[in-house]
Amino acid sequence: MIEIALHLLDIVQNSIMANAKNIKISVYENTSENILSLEVEDDGNGMDEETLKRAKSPFYTTNDVKRIGLGISLLKTACENAEGSFYITSKKGEGTHIKADFKYDSVNRQPLGDMATTVSNLLMCNRNVGFIYKHTYNGNYFIFDSDEYSPIATEVVKRGENVLQWLIDTLNEKINTIYSK
């Protein structure tokens, strides 16, 4: 993967395949602490201890179609390459929590990537899932809750506008606002 946003896409797809109905995504950037963190928490099927151990290994998957599962392993390696750390906890029947920390100024840290487009596509392709996306930059933050924005999106459709583009523009505006403060 060439950017962190693509890792996010893969990890959230795992959550959706595990029947998550609610997914929290958090991006935390703090240049003075020299850290970039990505967190994904879901209420999906979760994993037992044995599955959790195997999930960190390359090529492990529970997907019968794909047969190769590199997502968690690639994210873990990306963290380690950027002098960071990777954490995963899960409980069968309750969900999974992943935290990926990167040293912000590491020359090996992948760029964050296009979070607005990534999150917007996740929202549009998974309308039956509730998403909360929080993005923090040097203490400034915003929270986007898909349940709160759903009525607004309905109005956008009624006006004949492109909902995906509206979501991308809305998230880009929020991201640019926290970066410019």
Alpha helices in 65-162 (DSSP H): 71-81, 115-125, 146-158
The pLDDT confidence band at residue 67, using thresholds 50, 70 and 90, is very low
Cβ proximity of 44 and 91 under 8 Å: no
- Chain segment 23-64, per-residue pLDDT in tens: 999 999 999 999 999 999 999 999 998 888 877 666 655 555
Cα–Cα distances in angstroms (integers) from residue 32 to residues 3, 43, 104, in the given order: 22, 33, 9
State whether CATH 3.40.50.300 applies to domain 4-180: no
The pLDDT confidence band at residue 153, using thresholds 50, 70 and 90, is confident
Given the structure tokens 């958090």, which residue do they identify? 26
- Does residue 82 register a pLDDT over 90? yes
Where in the chain are the domains?
Answer: 4-180
Cβ proximity of 15 and 62 under 8 Å: no
- Does residue 144 register a pLDDT over 90? yes
pLDDT, residue 161, reads 87
pLDDT, residue 84, reads 98
Cβ partners under 8 Å of residue 169, min gap 6: 116
pLDDT, residue 71, reads 79
Predicted model pTM: 0.91
Task: For residues 131 and 167, give the distance between their C-alpha atoms in angstroms, rounded to a whole number.
Answer: 13
pLDDT, residue 145, reads 97
pLDDT, residue 69, reads 47
What contacts 24+ positions apart, CB below 8 Å, involve 63-72? 63/17, 71/7, 71/10, 71/11, 71/13, 71/14, 72/11, 72/14, 72/98
Mean pLDDT of the chain: 92
Phi and psi of 100, rounded to 5°? -120, 120
Task: For residues 3 and 109, give the distance between their C-alpha atoms in angstroms, rounded to a whole number.
Answer: 9
